Amino acid sequence: MSSVQFGSAFSAPAITAYGAFGTTWLRLLWAAAILAIIVRPPVFRYSRAQWQTAGLLGASMAGMTLCFFAAIERIPLGLAVAIDFLGPLSVATFAFGLGWRLVWPLIAGAGVLMLAHDGNGWIGDTTGILFAFGAATGWALYIILMKKAGNAFEGLQGLSMSLILAAIVATPFGLADSARITMEGAFSIVGLAILVPLLPYALEMIALRRMTMSSFGILMSLEPAIGALAGFLVLSQPMTIVQIAGTVLVVAASAGATATTA
């Protein structure tokens, strides 16, 4: 979580220089290349089912990452992460029926609204918020498919294949920003690619092999708070008392939802 959120915050200059899509594409390309060299996946030995799993995970990775970086280009990091977390939170809640657990996404929704107001007015723009909701959908699919891929492949082979396919899916979007990318800029993204997505995706796949999705969700509930902290420390995005309270509500709702469905 720290790698994702601080890596995202440190990406602000790259996004400004090369665009959200261009930066995302370069990250995925570098992450896929580095992991492929390390893992050396036997691509011609996989079954059709394994290819389908890797393809779906790769598409969700590409969509989630493209949408998230497009969102933080337009709205504060803390708000983007809070909206992003509504995806897995809603899946965890609705998976257990339409009973009293619906209170958790409602509480989280109230927290997001508090994060979206800085005391003087509503922050962000409609496009950025829509991208954040797109990232939320991608994140929900990513968690489900990451666990499936972890069980379908040995080691990090599933992640390696998925990153290769994610880079391919992101290519048309990255090419739209290609005129802004220099050779020096392309190489400068290597470190950011390790921070996000290579390191966190690898750690999450390993974690999901060793713990239940509900336990994973409880720990991930800290993500909005870490995102807000990264935005404050790295990007100097201040938070009002109301916005801090909104972050607390999102974290509490996330932890409550996953704890009561464990």
Mapped onto helix, strand or coil, the DSSP state of residue 145 is helix
For the cut 90, the answer to whether the pLDDT of residue 230 exceeds it is yes
Residues 200-208 have a mean pLDDT of 92
Tell me the C-alpha to C-alpha distance, in Å, between residue 228 and each of 1, 81, 135, 194, 222. 12, 8, 17, 21, 10
CA-nearest of 228, 224, 226, 251 to 238 is 228
CA-based radius of gyration for the chain: 18
Q: Please give the pLDDT value at position 212.
A: 75
Contacts (Cβ under 8 Å, ≥6 apart) of 242: 114, 117, 119
Q: What percent of the chain has pLDDT over 70?
A: 96
Instruction: Find out whether 211 and 58 touch, Cβ atoms under 8 Å.
Output: no
Q: Please give the pLDDT value at position 86.
A: 86
Entry pTM = 0.89
Q: Please give the pLDDT value at position 39.
A: 96
Element (H, E) at 224: helix 223-235
Residues 31-45 have a mean pLDDT of 96
Q: What percent of the chain has pLDDT over 90?
A: 62
Q: Please give the pLDDT value at position 97.
A: 63
CA–CA dist 116, 243 (Å, integer): 8
CA–CA dist 243, 79 (Å, integer): 9
Q: How confident is the model at residue 219 (pLDDT cuts 50, 70, 90)?
A: confident
Q: Which of 68-82, 108-122, 247-261 has the highest mean pLDDT?
A: 68-82
For the cut 70, the answer to whether the pLDDT of residue 95 exceeds it is no
CA-nearest of 206, 189, 208, 207 to 34 is 189
Task: Supply 44's token pair.
Answer: 């011609």
For the cut 90, the answer to whether the pLDDT of residue 200 exceeds it is yes
